[in-house]
Amino acid sequence: MDFNSTVKGSMLEGFYPAGWDFVKIDACCSHAPEEISERQAFWNKDFNIDECTTLGEFDVKMGHEIANEIRKANKAGQKLVFILPVGPMGMYKWAVYFLKEWNESCKNVWCFNMDEWADGEGNTLTGDASFQSAMENAFYNPLGELTVPKDHRNFATKANLPTYPEKINALKAEGAKLVLVYGIGRMCHIAFWEPTIGAEFDSDEEWKKQPYRIGVQLHPLTIEQNALTSFKSRTSLVPCRANTIGPGLMFQADYAIGGADGAFSRGMQWQGMSLWMTLRYGPTRHITSTYIPTLPGRLFYLKELAGPLVAEAN
C-alpha cells in the first residue's frame, strides 16, 4: 500500500504537476545512498556533486565556491554576473569571510536576485521578511568597502525584473561570466519557477525561452516548505505569489553553484526526494530542477538527504 495504489479518488489526485510520473519518481528514490554520485547520461561533463556531512561543512563549501568565483574573475580581469537566491543562506557569511580574508573587491560583480515575494500584480514585499532585506543583511552590508556597488544590485521588483534579460545579455556581450547560485525547492522549482508552469507549453524548447514571471502562483507545497523553513510554521505569513526569473535566464548560466540542505532534526528531512528527482529523472519542463545537471557546476548536498529514503518512526 503506497501513494500510487491509493491516490485515485483521493484529495491528492490532480494536486501534483502534470507530467509527474510517480512510478518513475519512486524508482529515482529507491537507490542506495552510495549510488547518488553515479553519473547519468544527461549530466553535463562538468557537472559534479559534492557530499557534506554537516551543515557547517555545507555552508563553508558553498561560501568558498561563491567567493572563489569572484577571486578568479578578479584575477582574469573579467566581469562576473551572479543570479542569487535567498536560501540557502549560511553560505553568505562564509563568502564574506573569504572575500575579506583575501581582500577581494566586488566592484566588477553584478548581482540579480532570482525572486521576491509578491502579490498578483507583482507588487513586492518590503521590510525584514523581504528577500532584498535578507540579501543586504547577509551579504552586501557585511562586505563593507569590498561590497557589490549599489547600482550593480538588482532585485526582482515589478519594475526591475523585466530589465533583467537586457542587462544580463549586455554584460555577457562584454565578456562577463554568468553564475547561477540556487537551492532546490520541495516541488523541484529553481527560483520560484514552479513545475506547474510546464503544462502551459507544448515543448521544452518553448518553455526554456521564458525569462521571468510577475506574480506567479506558488504551489501549496512551496507555501508549506517556506512556512516550515522561513516562517516558523506560520503559514498565514507566507505570500501565495512571487516574482521570479525563468529558464530563459537561469539555464543560460556558464556555471552553477547549488545546494540541498533540507534536513530537520531527529532524522527528518524534506529535500531527499527533490534531490534524487533532480539527479535521476531526466530533463523535463514538468520538473524544473531536472535541467540543473545539464549545466557545468557543483551541487553540494547534505549526506543524509541521499537516504535511504524509507519510512521510520520519529
What is the model's pLDDT at position 290?
98
Instruction: Report the number of distinct structural domains present in the chain.
Output: 1
Per-residue pLDDT band for 312 (boundaries 50, 70, 90) equals confident
Give the 3-state DSSP-derived string for the chain, with helices as H, strands as E and coil as C: CCHHHHCCCCCCCCCCCCCCCHHHHHHHCCCCHHHCCCCCCCCCCCEEEEEECCHHHHHHHHHHHHHHHHHHHHHHCCCEEEEECCCCCHHHHHHHHHHHHHCCCCCCEEEEECEEEECCCCCECCCCCCHHHHHHHHHHHHHHHHCCCHHHEECCCCCCHHHHHHHHHHHHHCCCEEEEEEECCCCCCECCECHHHHHHCCCHHHHCCCCEEEEEECCHHHHHHHHHHHCCCCHHHCCCEEEEECHHHHCCCCEEEEEECCECCCCCECCHHHHHHHHHCCCECCEHHHHHHHCCEEEEEEHHHHCCCCCCCC
Per-residue pLDDT of 53-110, as tens digits, reads 999 999 999 999 999 999 999 999 999 999 999 989 999 999 999 999 999 999 999 9
313: in domain: no
Grid coordinates given for 117:
515575494
CATH number of the domain that residue 25 is part of: 3.40.50.1360
pLDDT at 313 over 80: no
48: in domain: yes
Per-residue pLDDT of 252-262, as tens digits, reads 999 999 999 99
75: in domain: yes
Per-residue pLDDT of 32-46, as tens digits, reads 999 999 999 999 999
What is the model's pLDDT at position 18?
84
pLDDT at 129 over 90: no
pLDDT at 193 over 80: yes
Q: Which amino acid is at 162?
A: P
- Give the chain's mean pLDDT: 97
274: in domain: yes
Q: Is the pTM of this model over 0.95?
A: yes
Per-residue pLDDT band for 126 (boundaries 50, 70, 90) equals confident
Per-residue pLDDT of 234-253, as tens digits, reads 999 999 999 999 999 999 99
38: in domain: yes
What is the model's pLDDT at position 127?
85
- Residue 163's domain comprises 3-305
